[in-house]
Each structure stands twice: as C-alpha cells, then as structure tokens.
Amino acid sequence: MDLNALQSFYDGYSINAYEIFGAHMTEEGTIFRLYAPNAKSVRLIGDFNGWNREANYLYKSDLGFWETKIPYLEEYARYKYVIESARGEFVEKADPYGFYNENRPDWGNKVVNLYHEWQDGDWMANRDRNFEKPMNIYEVHLGGFRHNWADQWLNYGEMKDVLIPYVKEMGYTHIELLPLNEHPLDQSWGYQQFGYFSITSRYGSPRQLMEFVDACHNAGIGVIMDIVIVHFLKDSFGLGNFDGTPLYESSDPNYAESQWGTHYFDFSKNIVKSFLLSSAGLWLDKYHMDGLRVDAVSNLIYFHGDKTKGENREAISFIKRMNYHLHQNFPSAMTIAEDSSDYPKVTGDPSDGLGFDYKWDLGWMNDTLKYYKEDPEYRHYDHNLINFSMAYFFSERFILPFSHDEVVHSKGTIIDKMWGSYEDKFRQCRNLMVYMYTHPGKKLNFMGNEIASFREFDEMKELDWFLLKYPLHDSFKRLIRDLNMVYRHNEAFWKYDYSWKGFKWIDADNAAARVYSYIRYDDEKCYIVLLNMSPNSWEQFRVGVPTYGYFTEVINSEKDIYGGCNMCNFHKVQARKGECNGFKYHLDVRVAPYAGIILEAKMR
C-alpha cells in the first residue's frame, strides 16, 4: 500500500481513496478494506460464506482501517459489512467505497473490476473546458427518456443505440445525466444516494456505463454527470452513524439534518473531505466523465442554504479544495455549480473564488419565465426582467438552464408556463428559445423541452414521443434542432460568451413596443436579434445596425416550417444610411406577432 496516499486520505486531500478502500480484485484474491475507526468489530458476509456472520472477520491494522482478503472470488459476488459498535449493537452496512450494488430494494454490494479498454484517446487528448467553444447541453434522466417494448427502462447498452443518435440528430454538444450514484428511491432521481462510488444498477453494470461514455465520445458528444456532495440519506445501511458514531455527519443535531430529511456531510472532518473528493475523482478517472455538475451549492455556501445563518466556512474551503485538485488532476474536465445564491466569484479562481468553471444562471431562468408567463398587455411594466441579465452577466461564466427542476412539482412544463391559448403558448415558446440561444452563455435544456411537452416529468414514464404526430410539436422540435445548428456553427453565439466583445444592445428599453434588439458578434460577422414580446406586427420595424450591406434572415420563429404565420423576411434586407439607435445604418424589418428573428451580415 502507498503510505503517502493513505496519509493524504487522513489529511483530507485524497483524490483517489477508492484505490485504497472498497473491494479490489487481485491475482491472490479480493482485498476488502474499510474505514470504521470506532467499530468494536467488523465482519464480512456474502455469497462466498453463506451470509454467515461468524465466518469472516476483518482485522484492524495499525494504519487505522479494517482489512481482509478472500481468495477465489468471482466478479459480481455479493457482500455486506456487519458493524459492531462500541455498545455491542450489530448493523449491516453497505460498503461506502463499493463500486456496485444490487438493484433496489436490495442494497448489498457486488465485487467488480473497473477496468475498461477505452477507445476515446483522440477525444480525451483534444478535450477542454469549452470556454470559447459551443456548449448546448441535453439534460437527461435515463429512466424517463425512452422505454423498451415492455415499457421498461433501457440499459446503458441500449441507450447507446437510442440516445446518442438522437442527440447527434438534434445538434447537442453534451449530455448531462441526472445522478447515477446508487440510490434506493426512484422518486429522488438520484439526489438522495448512498453509493458515492457506485453507479446505479437500474441501467446495467459499470462496464456498460463505460461503454456508453466511450460511444458518446466517439460520436463527438461530451458527458456531464450530476453529483451530490451536500447530503446523504438516512437509511440504516448507509453512511449514517456508520461505525456506531456520526462518522460522516455532524454530532451537532443543529447541523446534522438537511431540509430534505437527509444528513448533511460534516466538512470539518478530513475523512469526509477525502471521501467526497475521491468520489468526484472516480467519475473523471474511471468513467471519463467530461464534467461534474454539483447540486445545491447554496447549501454548501450557507448553513441550510440560508444566508441569515452565515457562511459554512468548512464547506466553502472544501469546494475550493475540490475544484483546485480536480483541475490539477483532470485539467480538461469541467466543474459546474447549481447555485441559487448571490455569492460572488463562484467561477473565480480558488485563490479568491470557489473555482467552478461554470454556474447555472438561475436568476436569468426565474426572471425570464416570470416575464413569459405575463399577459403581453402588461409586460411593459416588467421590461427589465429581460434586460437585467446583461447588467451582471459577465460577473461569472454562466450557463442558461431550463432544467428538470422547472418541469416538476406542479410548476408546469416550459411551454405550459407561457401565457395564453394553446397556439399562443407555441408562439411565445418559440420566441423564448430564440432568446435563449442568442443570449450569451452556454445552454442547457431538459429532455422533453424540445418537443414542447405539456406533461410534467415523471421518472417512471418515458417522454410523450407521440406528441410528434401533431404538427405544432413536430415543428417545434425542428426549430430546436435548427437553433442548435445555427448556434453551433456560428462563432458569434459562443466565441465571446463572457465578454462585451461578443454582445451589444441595439435597444434594451423599448418597453412601449415590447421589442428587444441586440447584436452578437464574432471577428467577421454580426447577427441582429429581434424579439417581439407582443401580439403586434410591423411591416417595417426600424432597427439600427453597425454595418452597411445586406442582411439575411437565418431564423424566424414564425416561419411556417416551425408552425408560424410565415410573416418573414424572405429576401435580403438592405441596411441603409440613416442614424437609428445610435448606429449610422438601419434596417426596416418585417416583424410578426411574437416573432424571434436572427439576421446575419458580414462586418464591413
């Protein structure tokens, strides 16, 4: 054993403690190691000893952990630990560092080998964190995407043949997977877990997940996974009171229990820091994940996510440590914060910030959806809900999210949040998507948003794919695909995402007309974006532009192929001399009710 690695574990800096602890298959047998310093005894039960508690005891080494070796174990052999506390109580526990578990409602571990012969060398060699590249993410719950003929979840292998071609067809750059750590309750979607080193057996084996990620990379698709480092479930077989003492949680009841009915991790303990840092490292190391999205960061920054209770200094220190060491060891992998707080420099360097690469812009999401819910006749009163985002946007590297959280718990789906009739909802949702794709920042959409699903997400059902039989839904999907393609293949929409060099307002203050206009730039082209948030139309809507020449309409959300009224600019629009909106030139553009329009021209 590497004693330096073990010391790093005790010091709270280990990024690969899974190489020490857990069950490891070797030529001489399978070595089991467990950290349970306050246990009176530890026993190993499993298939190999008939679940006999007296058959296999672990011995406690001078190095502070329990260990034993079992010869001739086959892969997928099942096992559990029996922990005897100092008070003589016996509790069966899952291995905190186990790599695989039985399928719910069982929870025992399985011995597995995490070796995979990867075929993604080119992808990994050329991967980076996408700061000056397009990134439009398709967020997926694997169980709710598509089912088989028997209405059952697809496994990782089947997902290769279904999800990857769909993501390619639609033009997304990345898939983001809701947590795949082992968890007992389907309804938690993986956010209340116990297997911090174990992929869920719902969809297959570790090797099958590796093959899925490998296939994504060879198809040019990145894979991001959600992780949860704030809290863990209370079930008796999990981490809670693990060795008869609160080993992973706080002994102070004021800080032990979370708002979700789970235990908070105690970040004052070095072994907790190594445990979580190594869990994150596992997904990047063994599974080649391209990024990790950290859930509920505001609950790490503040006790219980409540700013009035003060900063959680230990957790903040851990976040900085985690981001620093992940980037040192996996420099091309991303870390992403799902953070609803106004804490500064979340994407700042760990020396004076938290060290994440990206942060979800939940303020943008809330303001935007609030605006689109309003009756258009009254939107002029809340005009700043749309233009406010650009007042702060370059303070962080933001991702614009319409995530799973916005289509559950009776909130209504994205299209159902839109104001008005069935047809009005489609008009405004098409406009919304043009706005999202042309606003600075990377993009994220939860599955189902692209087909304008009216049913909220249900983890037990597949998406309502039958909706594509209806023209408005099928046309909406086509708009999303076309927006993805326009976004990906035009540098103006991502090259300068986090700089004023790539964005300029034309008119941010036209509340009376309820029309917003702005420019996205690259080094050669400019794109004029007009968003009509009203039911009014104009045959000639005048807008200032930075260059002369001809502008070509590349997207109009009211084009007939998207289900619109087809009031479009079918011919090139000539920019003419004449000051408007502070520019020397102007265009006169046809603007349909609720139209979202993108016009392209070369800079001259």
Catalytic residues: 295, 338
Kind of pairing between the strands at 358-360 and 334-337: parallel
How many whole angstroms from its chain centre is CA 65? 35
Q: What is the helix (H) or strand (E) element at residue 329, kind and residue range?
A: helix 313-329
Structure tokens at 548: 């002369």
d(CA 232, CA 117): 32
Task: Identify the CA nearest to 324 among candidates 335, 338, 313.
Answer: 335
Q: How many helices (H) and strands (E) does the chain have?
A: 14, 28
Kind of pairing between the strands at 398-402 and 358-360: parallel
Q: E strands of 437-524, at which residues? A: 442-446, 503-507, 515-521
d(CA 419, CA 421): 7
Backbone phi and psi for residue 177, each to the nearest 5 degrees, phi listed first: -100, 130
Residue 111 buriedness (CB in 10 A; 0-12 / 13-18 / 19+)? buried
Backbone phi and psi for residue 30, each to the nearest 5 degrees, phi listed first: -95, 125
Q: What is the DSSP letter of 572?
A: P
d(CA 329, CA 115): 19
Q: E strands of 501-537, at which residues? A: 503-507, 515-521, 525-532
Residues whose CB is less than 8 angstroms from the CB of residue 262 and which lie 6 or more positions away in sequence, other chains included: 192, 231, 232, 233, 234
Which whole-number Å values give the CA distances from 539 to 395, 542, 565, 592, in the listed order?
38, 10, 14, 8
